[in-house]
Structure 1
Amino acid sequence: MKLLENITTIKQLEIINRLDFFKEFSLAERQVLLESFSHLYLIGQGKHAFKRFEQDNRLYIILSGELRIFAEKSHIDIGHVGPGEFVGEGAFICHRERSTSAQAVSDTIVLAITAEALTKLPAVIREKIKDKIIEGMSERIHKLNHYIEEQF
């Protein structure tokens, strides 16, 4: 994973303005978010964003590209996440080791957020991020329930 340091705030705003994850954020809130974190990373095709059991507790919001989520032991795909989606919420929320691995299907740019950085954001931005995480987790549970029902 390579830290991207030379992307202007305007270019970063252009990228996140296209994503549903940020649609509830005002322009000013998006700017604060980018200025507070400014941790954009490039994950080259075939490279890992993280591996199972790592102690990395960052939440990754995919800005472009796609990550494959899989169980390291069996290499069975659990799912794919693309632009506007996130991954790593379990380790982010519970401060625990990674339960899965994530690998770039194509060159992928992510915004990495730490729990510590989140606490320093204004409450309105922090709450919007939490709402998006809850919404995304709810959607994943719905898909999992549907998958389980199809199996039986």
Structure 2
Amino acid sequence: MIKIKNVDLGLIKTEAILHYPYECCGFLIGKKEKEIKVVVRVIPTANDWESQRDLLKEVMDKPDYGMKENFAIAPKTMLQVQKEVRRENLDIIGIYHSHPNHPAIPSEFDRAIAWQEYSYIITSVVEKEIKELYCWQLEENSQFKEETIIIDQ
């Protein structure tokens, strides 16, 4: 389960609409409390797909994909955010991204780059309108399981 404030979900949806028809992405920052991951804040980041394309094309055998179909977070950005939030005794507990004109279910590329300890919020946006939003976690068998989202006012 993941607990997130309604305002943070609003920010994720706004980012998805703002970046449409390209995928947006960002970090879910918080702590794990017993069996619930609690999001304290959301940090939007640039979709760095174009500069990461050559590194990531080996993950999926479709190098012609672009920012409309994929996202990438620069390793430097990941390290910078990780250091910043650790100073606040917080962690990166997940990643969010959008799927323009596609369902909010993980793609094969999402599976290839996912980490088991992270939650993945995916938002479907079609013609600049949010259609659905789900949260997923990669299990040990490399299958995604939908996580329950608890919305905190």
Does the TM-score normalized on the shorter chain lie above 0.5? no
* Higher percent of residues as helix: 1
Richer in strand (by share): 2
Superposition TM-score, scaled by structure 2 size: 0.29
With structure 1 as the length reference, what TM-score do the two structures score? 0.29
